[in-house]
Structure 1
Amino acid sequence: MIAFLEGKIDAIDESSVFVVVNGLGYEVVCANPFQFQHLQNEFVRIYTYHYIREDQQILYGFKQYEEKQLFAKLLNVSGIGPKGALSILASTSVHDIAVAIEQEDEKLLTQFPGVGKKTARQMILDLKGKVAEWMNGSADIPQNANAKGEDKPSDSNQEVLNEALEALKALGYSDREIKRITPQLRQSDSTTIDEYVKTGLSLMVQKNS
């Protein structure tokens, strides 16, 4: 089992990051590959889940260890596969998912991509009591060699982010679509309107693919 990779990010596309480790290139499928964009060509650690089936082997990657843990738990829920689990993680934070499960908030759970009422009830049945540790915030901060502090925009950037969201709306995206990518935008390293809009467009492409 490959627990994590430490190396340099060589490239990023809509679904994956490509990490070079001791001369070997690994394709790592991520919920939001562009969260690593500011670390391209730098040395990083990406936590990985090695998904193995008879006909495929895929590395799924996560910036935080708790995301990997929740991904593994979601795979144990009937009706949720790797793509579904990744879509759920891309929609919001581990904290919010844990709160929804522990508080049996089916309405919130059914807002996640691919989660209907049956799957929401199954998530609650299978995971309630197993994710409570994440309700009070991050349980484990990743040890990236080039960490740049918190992954949320500062107060001074909040206005810039709001303007970028308005720009995405002006481009024709719905409030619902914009709301789905806002958590990832908050965690990005963007500092200008153009950077936020560019990252937002990349996220839209990923979610619509």
Structure 2
Amino acid sequence: MIAYIKGILVSVNENAVIVDVQGVGYEIVCANPFSFQASLHHEVTINTFHYVREDAQMLYGFRNEDEKILFTNLISVSGIGPKGALSILGGIDAGEFIEAIEREDDKYLTSFPGIGKKTARQIILDLKGKLSAVVSISSQSSADTQNREASEGLQEAQEALKSLGYTEREIKAVMPELQQESTSNTDEIVRRALALLMRN
């Protein structure tokens, strides 16, 4: 099994990318090949799934491990082959799709070409509860992003308050309340801080 390919991205077309690994060009079929366009002529590492059948061998590529896990699980469902799985991946966020499976959202699943009600029910039957690890990774990633944005918003707000003439001591006095705010928008944090400072 070829788990990933690391080399120089030499070509991108509408169906696949070609990665040169020490003089050998690997054609890797992807859901969205042009998502790798920015790395053209640079070194890339692409997660891959080596698909083997009697009449063909194919390498399928993915932007991250979540997509690969979802792909391998989708092709295990009766009625979905690699081409169908790729068409699904081409138009979704992996975490969003998995959440739809978990909440048994037939309407969402049947919105993809080639997936009727029967196949949607089969996806739910076969995959519900099996992809929670991917969901937790996505959720953690989302939480990390939100935390980072909130921290940046607070830092920018502190700088703005200093420029308005407030002292470090005055700003620190209102920080505990500001940290409880649900927004990461700097302007909103500054407005809230000014209200607190005027009250104090």
TM-score range, shorter chain: 0.5 to 0.7
Q: TM-score, normalised by structure 2?
A: 0.68
Q: Are 2:51 and 1:51 equivalent residues in the alignment?
A: yes
For each residue in 1:170-196, what CA deviation from the matched residue of structure 2 results, as whole angstroms up to 9, or x when unmatched? xxxxxxxxxxxxxxxxxxxxxxxxxxx
Hey, what does 1:8 align to over in structure 2? 8
For each residue in 1:115-143, what CA deviation from the matched residue of structure 2 results, as whole angstroms up to 9, or x when unmatched? 110000000000000112333553899xx
For the Cα contact (< 8 Å) 1:64–1:140, is it kept in 2?
no
Paired residues for 1:138-177 under 5 Å: 138=138
Hey, what does 1:162 align to over in structure 2? none
What is the CA–CA distance in structure 2 between the aligned matches of 1:138 and 1:59, rounded to whole Å?
25
- Of residues 71-80 and 128-137 in structure 1, the stretch that sits farther from structure 2 once superposed is 128-137
The one-letter amino acid of 1:87's match is S
| Matched-pair identity in % | 54
Paired residues for 1:70-89 under 5 Å: 70-89=70-89
For each residue in 1:10-45, what CA deviation from the matched residue of structure 2 results, as whole angstroms up to 9, or x when unmatched? 001000000000110000000000000000000010
Other structure's SS at 1:135 match:
helix
Hey, what does 2:151 align to over in structure 1? none
Q: TM-score, normalised by structure 1?
A: 0.65
The one-letter amino acid of 2:106's match is E
Which of the two has greater helix per residue?
2
Aligned length: 142
The answer for unaligned runs of 5 or more in structure 2 is: 146-200
Q: Structure 1 residues 83 and 139 mapped into 2: Cα distance closer, same or farther (>3 Å)?
A: farther
For each residue in 1:54-84, what CA deviation from the matched residue of structure 2 results, as whole angstroms up to 9, or x when unmatched? 0000000011011111100001100000000
- Of residues 125-134 and 21-30 in structure 1, the stretch that sits farther from structure 2 once superposed is 125-134
Structure number with greater CO (CA < 8 Å, separation at least 6) is: 1
Hey, what does 2:103 align to over in structure 1? 103
Deviation, 1:113, is 1.9
For each residue in 1:102-161, what CA deviation from the matched residue of structure 2 results, as whole angstroms up to 9, or x when unmatched? 0000000001121110000000000000112333553899xxxxxxxx9xxxxxxxxxxx
Q: Are 2:34 and 1:34 equivalent residues in the alignment?
A: yes
What is the CA–CA distance in structure 1 between the aligned matches of 2:39 and 2:71, rounded to whole Å?
23
The one-letter amino acid of 2:45's match is R
Structure whose CA Rg is larger: 2
What is the CA–CA distance in structure 2 between the aligned matches of 1:53 and 1:64, rounded to whole Å?
24
Q: Are 2:21 and 1:21 equivalent residues in the alignment?
A: yes
* Runs of 4+ residues over 6 Å off in structure 1: none
The answer for unaligned runs of 5 or more in structure 1 is: 142-149, 151-209
